[in-house]
């Protein structure tokens, strides 16, 4: 599909992924977890489908799409956070199809070598049910009776909503902030699965970059929303994370993605002073006129009523693509 006479540039489809799994474990009932963990077979199907229809692009191609110079619909594959599954399950597929994806790295997760406890909570609750969950962090207090496996995901969703409403970053919580039936979360009783959110190592990421499968962008140090930081704290985080990533990978890092997809005009102004491009999560096509400090992405979920077998079968992408290409004369 090409622009007519090259008068109007073709659009860019930016796809956002998080983790990949061979299969979802029984405890994965929390909707936000489910939609962030895509079956690797579905990911392979998406890449194969796009390879037949569109042109895969890299970060260096973004300007051509925003300037209206592109003549073929492009697809940019992005991953957030820096999970081990990106390297272990995603990289072989990317290499098979000659795709270079962009990985937005949360540096603190890689340094710690373990995912934040909030991501282990789902599995832990599943193993302890029935249980009374308690969360205490500074002036935030939360309690909930989790009586069945069928309600555990709902209770975690309520906890996340309460944390954000209170301005408390879920991913900053430590094990000592949680208790079960009034007892501290000192040891895990969950067994049989290493978790869906295990971070990659720096060595694994460097290897993936050297292979050509990944380019690197910034996703913050702690994944706390940047809108919650003061202007000076945000400037420090943006500059320090960029410098850290450039030192780790020995190449320029010119792009970032907002943690949790949250930004405001001030945050976008600060980000654009440090990075050439910044990505949000609005499900739209990237085309001329789109703000380079708030580039849109389609979050590809893992489950819908009819399953996922190709990106063009996802109704949201299909509708946006038809509308966008129609407006652009494609």
Report the chain's C-alpha Rg in angstroms. Answer: 20
CA distance 91 to 176: 35
Residue 61, SS3 per DSSP: helix
Whole-number Å distance between alpha carbons of 245 and 255:
11
Query: pTM for the whole thing?
Result: 0.89
Residue 192 has a pLDDT of 63
Q: Cα angle at 171 between 168 and 172, to 5 degrees?
A: 65
What does the pLDDT read at residue 28?
85
4-113+197-327 is classed CATH 3.20.20.370 = yes
The predicted structure's pLDDT at residue 199: 96
Residue 199 contacts residue 222 (beta carbons within 8 Å): no
Contact 171, 163 (CB under 8 A): no
- Rounded CA-CA distance 281/298 in Å is 7
81-126 pLDDT, tens digit per residue, is 999 999 999 999 999 999 999 999 999 999 999 889 999 999 999 9
Which regions in the chain score pLDDT beneath 70? 1-7, 192-194, 302-330
Angle at 264 between CA 138 and CA 297, to 5 degrees: 105
What pLDDT digit, counting tens, does each position of 252-286 carry? 999 999 999 999 999 999 999 999 999 999 888 99
With CA atoms as reference, report the closest residue to 82 among 14, 157, 20.
20
List of E strands, 138-236 = 140-146, 178-180, 183-184, 214-218
Please give the pLDDT value at position 316.
Answer: 44
Q: How would DSSP label each residue in 261-327?
A: G---HHHHHHHHHH-SEEE----S-B-TT--TTSB--EE--S--TT--S-GGGSHHHHHHHHHHHHH
């Amino acid at each position: 599909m090409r622009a007519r006479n090259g008068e109007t540039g073709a659009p860019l489809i930016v796809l956002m992924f998080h983790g990949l799994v061979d299969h979802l474990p029984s405890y994965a009932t929390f909707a936000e977890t489910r939609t962030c963990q895509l079956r690797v077979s579905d990911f392979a199907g998406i890449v194969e489908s796009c390879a037949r229809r569109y042109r895969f692009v890299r970060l260096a191609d973004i300007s051509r799409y925003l300037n209206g110079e592109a003549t073929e619909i492009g697809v940019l594959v992005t991953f957030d956070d820096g999970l081990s599954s990106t390297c272990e399950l995603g990289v072989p597929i990317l290499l098979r199809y000659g795709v270079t994806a962009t990985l937005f790295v949360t540096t603190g997760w890689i340094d710690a070598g373990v995912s934040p406890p909030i991501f282990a909570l789902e599995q832990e609750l599943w193993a302890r049910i029935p249980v009374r969950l308690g969360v205490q962090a500074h002036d935030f207090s939360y309690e909930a009776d989790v009586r069945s496996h069928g309600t555990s995901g709902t209770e975690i969703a309520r906890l996340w909503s309460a944390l954000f409403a209170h301005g408390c970053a879920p991913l900053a919580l430590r094990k000592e902030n949680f208790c079960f039936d009034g007892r501290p979360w000192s040891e895990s009783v969950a067994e049989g699965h290493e978790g869906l959110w295990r971070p990659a190592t720096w060595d694994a990421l460097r290897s993936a970059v050297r292979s050509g499968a990944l380019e690197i962008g910034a996703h913050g140090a702690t994944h706390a929303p940047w809108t919650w930081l003061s202007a000076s704290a945000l400037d420090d985080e943006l500059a320090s994370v960029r410098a850290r990533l450039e030192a780790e990978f020995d190449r320029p890092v010119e792009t970032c993605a907002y943690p949790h997809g949250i930004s405001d005009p001030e945050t976008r102004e600060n980000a654009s002073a440090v990075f050439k491009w910044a990505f949000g999560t609005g499900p739209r096509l990237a085309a001329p006129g789109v703000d380079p400090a708030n580039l849109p992405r389609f979050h590809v979920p893992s489950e819908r009523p009819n399953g996922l077998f190709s990106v063009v079968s996802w109704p949201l992408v299909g509708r946006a693509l038809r509308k966008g290409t129609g407006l652009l004369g494609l």
